[in-house]
Each structure stands twice: as structure tokens, then as C-alpha cells.
Amino acid sequence: MPASVSLPSCVATRIRGSPFSQLTPRISHVSCSEVRGILCLSDTHNPLAQSARRDLVQQLDGAGFRVYDSADVGDYQLVLLLGGDGFLLESLHGLDFPSTPVLGVNFGSVGFLMNTKACLSGLLAALQEWRFRSEELLVLEAEAELEDGGTTVLRAVNDFVIERLTGQGLRLRLSVDGRFFNQFSGDGLVFATPAGSTAYNLAAGGPVLHPDMRGIVVTPLYPHRAAPFHSLEFPLVVPVTAKLQIEADDLPKRGLRLLADGRPLRRVTTIRIRDAGRRVRLLRLEEHRFIETLSRKFIGESETTSDGRPRGREGGS
């Protein structure tokens, strides 16, 4: 079950019924002197995150910050999230991908987009002195045409995934910037942002993109290898300016669904994916380094010498 955001039911109704961006402060840059109000949310399914939020709210209140637990009440300049990566994604969707800076603290498993729980002991001082570096997350947009003739627009900060609905493999026509690229046959395709490149894309054999790179990764899912199908069998990285179109053949026999950060949309016929023109400003503590975090989270800790070399190689190669 997806992590849920601790918003009152009236707010959840407004999220579904109207553009939530109308409720979210839109600022692109802040400093410590400008942060007076903080929207602080925690995963309602995680008791540790809930307990940590209560303690943190007391500290923030005592330091003079105004803390809110609802997105439509008060004026806030920072979003503080306690949970896992799934909770962060759910919150970003609920807040309509705000430009208000977002600071996450990990109470989940991997927490690649979050700061560690250990930061809580010094978080108040970090906020007061604004000891953060920011990372801009790309937001993708997909316009999807449905079998019933309808059209809908979805957004994702991690990835869009096209996957089959039946036991039949998909037949997809993939075009890049208006030019035909591949007639794909297989289980589906992943379209990942740099932030999402360490998720399903990586599990499917796609590359990790550094957050400073502006690109979209297209990774095939179990392509048919038989020569008559000529399916894409390798990941492709395109610039963020690229416009991607995917058309499904042999419908409804080979039905598909589109997932936007895990949120499903069924019975899709054509999908157009592009940069949504939005960015989410994710805050990291100053000591955060992408390569070190990638190594720790996905390869595992290794013992090193004082100069950073693996232990046991001090004497040479």
C-alpha cells in the first residue's frame, strides 16, 4: 500500500477535485531568514516517523518557527517530510510538485532521495544557519490517449512505466522528436528522470544518471530477442528537450497501462512524454555527496584507508 500523507480529509478531497498548486506557495529561492513557516508531514503508516515529527515540532515551535500540518492553512516557505522515498513521491504528487523547497528525512528502507535520520539531532541548527545544498528534480509530463477516446495528462518525478495488461507482449511504435525510432515488442518500457534512474530503471538494467545531467532514460523491459521483431534491447538516454511518442498496436488484444510514479492508468493507446517545465527543489545537507550516497545505498559500505582507497590496496594495484 502506498504511503499516505497526513492531510485532513477535506484537503485530500481538494487535491482530487481542484489544482492543488493554488494552495501551495510558489517561491523559487529562499534563505534561512525567509523561512518562518514550515509544512511538516509524516507517513501515517510509520510510527517512528510520527513520533519523530512530534518531537521535531516541539523543537521548531520553541525556536520560533510556525509549523503546519495542513497544506491549505498558513504561509510556509519549506516542506519537511518524514518517511521513505515512497512517501516523498506521494507527497510531491499531493502538493502538485511544489517549487517550495522540500527537505526529506528517511524513515523507510532505501531513502535515496532523503536525508538520514541522524540529521535530526542537528536539523534545527542546520535550518537556522541554512546549511543545505539544493538539487533540482525534473518533472515529466505524459499526455495519454485512451481506448474510449478520452485524453488525460499525468506527471511524474521518478518515472513513467508502460507495461502489458495481458499475457500478450506489447507492440509499440517509439518515436523521438517526431522521427520513428523502433517498433518494440516486449513487456514494456521505462522512461526515467535522473532522480528515478536509481529505481525501476536501474533494476531493469538501465544506467544511473547523475542529478546534474539533464536527460531522460528509456529502458526496455524484457524485449523480444527474435530477429523478426527488431526490438530495442539497450537503454537510450535522450536530452530533456526530447519529445517522445509511444503508439500501441494490436489493441485491445495487447492492452497496456501507464504508471506515473506507480500510479496506474489503464487502456491507453498513445502516450506523448516531455519535460513538464517544472522543477522540485530538494534540499540535502551540505555534506551530502551523490557518488558517496550511491555507493553506500546500492553497493554497500566498504572499509577504506584515510585517503579513500579500499583497505588492503595501500601497497599498490
Q: Is the peptide bond before 223 cis (omega within 30 degrees of 0)?
A: no
pLDDT tens digits for the chain (317 residues)?
A: 344 343 332 333 223 333 333 333 333 355 555 899 999 999 999 999 999 999 999 999 999 999 999 888 778 999 999 999 999 999 999 999 998 999 999 999 888 899 999 999 999 999 999 999 999 999 999 999 999 999 999 999 999 999 999 989 999 999 999 999 999 999 999 999 999 999 999 999 999 999 999 999 999 999 998 877 889 999 999 999 999 999 999 888 899 999 999 999 999 999 999 999 999 999 999 888 888 888 888 888 665 555 666 655 444 33
Measured CA angle at 155 (ends 150, 156), to 5 deg: 140
Which triple of cell numbers denotes residue 9?
480529509
**Phi, psi (degrees; rounded to nearest 5) at 28:** -100, -30
Which three cell numbers mark 253? 488484444
Strands (E), 92-214: 102-106, 132-146, 151-156, 159-164, 170-176, 179-192
Q: What size, in residues, is the chain?
A: 317
Catalytic residue numbers read: 85
Rounded to whole angstroms, the Cα distance separating 147 from 267 reads 6
**pLDDT value of position 305:** 59
- Between CA 32 and CA 132 the distance in angstroms is 10
The DSSP string of 152-168 is EEEEESSEEEEEESSSS
- The domains located in the chain, with CATH, are 9-130 (3.40.50.10330), 139-278 (2.60.200.30)
Distance in angstroms (rounded) separating the CA atoms of residues 31 and 6: 26
